[in-house]
């Protein structure tokens, strides 16, 4: 049975049912203009699907910093669900329309001074976003064109491949410890699966934000490219991954990710309780307030 609200790989129709598109669709003879893009734009995320290639472009457009508010997370999950259910879509490139910022991570104001009900709803939305993205049967490529702390880093880590602009001013990492909070086990699991246990342990304990070149050395991102080449590279990587038969790639992805996904699905309620209890503590609220003040001071 499908866990509620989770579009999991193992309870979808067999992957090989998904339409695999020939290089030229019979409806689209070579030489004619490409099929029009389908696009849907919400408040915070712009999505464009090129039906001729089967590749969607998802752009975060929630200035100033693409923070992951409840509204953003809900839009993100709905957008992923729409693409996942569209047989014409086989892959998605995730990037930002906000200069210098990929995503600043979870919106701290959603975790500060709110009710237990609000924290519960917010955390469910964070879980939902990760379950959909990490469990997606599409090829997911993160084109990280700016800073990407904490929840922003989680989004990149949840993709199949990460390409980052080679600007050393852009940092990426799970820096929760710097805020006086602790990354939940499934953030940690996702990180370990990308960089290995030792690197993840050191980086998590220190709450490190790694400049792009260091992130590349650690394997946190797969490739660095000049910013102006980022989208071109992302499209090339996507084409390489889409050249394989969908069913083989999808079943392999399931094999690699299922244990980690299952762990959250089995402990979802407990994880929500832990988050709500933790974030409701006065000491944690104080840490978050101080961190927000530090951000404002740094600005002035």
**Is there binding between residue 65 and ligand CO8 (CB under 6 A)?**
yes
Q: Which of 125, 122, 145 is nearest to 57 (CA)?
A: 145
Burial of 192 (0-12, 13-18, 19+ CB in 10 A): middle
**Is there binding between residue 70 and ligand CO8 (CB under 6 A)?**
no
Cα separations in angstroms, 91 against 42, 105, 153: 20, 23, 20
**Is there binding between residue 296 and ligand CO8 (CB under 6 A)?**
yes
176 is catalytic: yes
How many residues make contact with ligand CO8 (CB under 6 A)? 28
> Per CB under 6 A, which of residues 261..290 are in contact with ligand CO8?
275, 278-279
**Is there binding between residue 99 and ligand CO8 (CB under 6 A)?**
no
Q: Which is nearer to ligand CO8, 24 or 289 (CB)?
A: 289
Q: Which is nearer to ligand CO8, 108 or 212 (CB)?
A: 108
- The dihedral region occupied by 173, where left means phi > 0, alpha psi between -120 and 50, and beta the remainder, is left
The alpha carbon of residue 17 and the mean position of all alpha carbons in its chain are separated, in whole angstroms, by 25
Show Cβ contacts of residue 13 under 8 Å, excluding neighbours closer than 6 positions.
Answer: none
The catalytic residue among 176, 179, 209, 264 is 176
Measured N-to-C along each axis, helices 116-134 and 185-195 cross at an angle, to the nearest 10 degrees, of 30
**Is there binding between residue 104 and ligand CO8 (CB under 6 A)?**
yes
Q: Pairing state of beta strands 171-173 and 100-101?
A: unpaired
Q: Cβ of residue 72: shortest distance to ligand CO8, in angstroms?
A: 10
Task: Please name the residue that has the structure tokens 């050249």.
Answer: 243
Looking at 75, 176, 189, 271, which residue binds ligand CO8 (CB under 6 A)? 176
Q: How far apart are CA 285 and CA 115, in angstroms?
A: 12
What mask, x for binding ligand CO8 by CB under 6 A, covers residues 178 to 197? Answer: -x-xxxx-------------
Cα separations in angstroms, 222 against 62, 190, 255: 26, 15, 21
- H helix or E strand, kind and range, residue 164: strand 161-165
Looking at 70, 80, 108, 272, which residue binds ligand CO8 (CB under 6 A)? 108
175 is catalytic: yes
**Is there binding between residue 204 and ligand CO8 (CB under 6 A)?**
no
> Per CB under 6 A, which of residues 146..165 are in contact with ligand CO8?
147, 149-151
Q: Which is nearer to ligand CO8, 147 or 208 (CB)?
A: 147
Q: Which is nearer to ligand CO8, 67 or 199 (CB)?
A: 67
Catalytic machinery residues? 106, 151, 175-176
Residues that bind ligand CO8 (CB under 6 A): 64-65, 67, 101, 104-109, 147, 149-151, 175-176, 179, 181-184, 275, 278-279, 292, 295-296, 299
């Amino acid at each position: 049975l499908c866990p509620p609200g989770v579009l999991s790989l193992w309870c979808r129709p067999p992957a090989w049912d998904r339409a695999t598109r020939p290089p030229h669709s019979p409806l689209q003879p070579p030489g004619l203009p490409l099929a029009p893009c389908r696009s849907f734009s919400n408040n915070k995320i712009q999505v464009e699907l090129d039906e001729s290639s089967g590749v969607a472009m998802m752009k975060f457009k929630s200035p100033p910093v693409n923070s992951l508010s409840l509204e953003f997370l809900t839009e993100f999950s709905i957008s992923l669900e729409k693409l996942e259910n569209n047989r014409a879509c086989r892959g998605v490139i995730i990037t930002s329309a906000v200069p210098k910022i990929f995503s600043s991570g979870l919106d701290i104001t959603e975790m500060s001074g709110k009710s237990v009900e609000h924290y519960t709803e917010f955390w469910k939305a964070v879980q939902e976003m990760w379950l959909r993205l990490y469990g997606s049967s599409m090829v997911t490529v993160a084109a990280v064109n700016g800073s990407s702390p904490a929840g922003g880093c989680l989004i990149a880590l949840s993709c199949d491949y990460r390409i980052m602009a080679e600007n050393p001013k852009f940092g990426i990492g799970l820096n929760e410890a710097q805020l006086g909070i602790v990354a939940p086990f499934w953030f940690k699991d996702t990180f370990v699966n990308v960089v290995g246990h030792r690197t993840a342990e050191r980086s998590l304990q220190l709450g490190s934000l790694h400049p792009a070149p260091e992130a590349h050395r650690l394997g946190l991102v797969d490739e660095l490219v000049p910013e102006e080449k980022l989208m071109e590279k992302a499209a090339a990587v996507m084409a390489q991954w889409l050249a394989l038969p969908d069913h083989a790639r999808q079943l392999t992805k399931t094999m690699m990710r299922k244990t980690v996904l299952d762990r959250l699905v089995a402990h979802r309620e407990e994880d929500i309780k832990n988050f709500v209890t933790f974030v409701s503590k006065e000491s944690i609220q104080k840490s978050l307030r101080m961190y927000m003040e530090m951000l404002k001071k740094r600005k002035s």
